[in-house]
Structure 1
């Protein structure tokens, strides 16, 4: 099973809110997930991440998507 760290969309119309989750790569975007590792609020420009969980998932072979990788880089969150 390939695991990805990716965004799961919540919020209202034109008011997005995202969870950063570890999910099976074949699962739907807003479907089943394995673990919640953080949140992202683009309107506020706020990212909250549990770096211990991120490190654990990456050590176990999870790959962050391009968007999540750029968020980690933009907000200086260590993904390795």
Structure 2
């Protein structure tokens, strides 16, 4: 099984938020996940509530070979999880 760390869209029309999850890469975008690893709320006014990451679990998944999507990779670099 090939695992990707990617975002899935939730919320309502014009008010999205995204969950970051470890997912089998063959699953659809909003399909079944292996593990939730955080969330991104781009519309949150409080900057501390915009992004929440479980860094230790993300590092674990990366260590066992999970590949982050391009968007998630940029987000992890910005928040210091990836170097």
TM-score normalized with structure 2 length = 0.88
List alignment gaps of at least 5 residues for structure 2.
none
Aligned length: 79
List alignment gaps of at least 5 residues for structure 1.
none
1:27-47 alpha-carbon deviations (Å, 9 max, x no partner): 000001100000000112511
Q: For 1:1-80, list aligned pairs within 5 A.
A: 1-44=1-44, 46-74=50-78, 76-79=79-82
Deviation (angstroms), 1:77: 3.0
Give the CA RMSD over aligned residues: 1.3
TM-score normalized with structure 1 length = 0.91
In terms of Rg, which structure is larger? 2
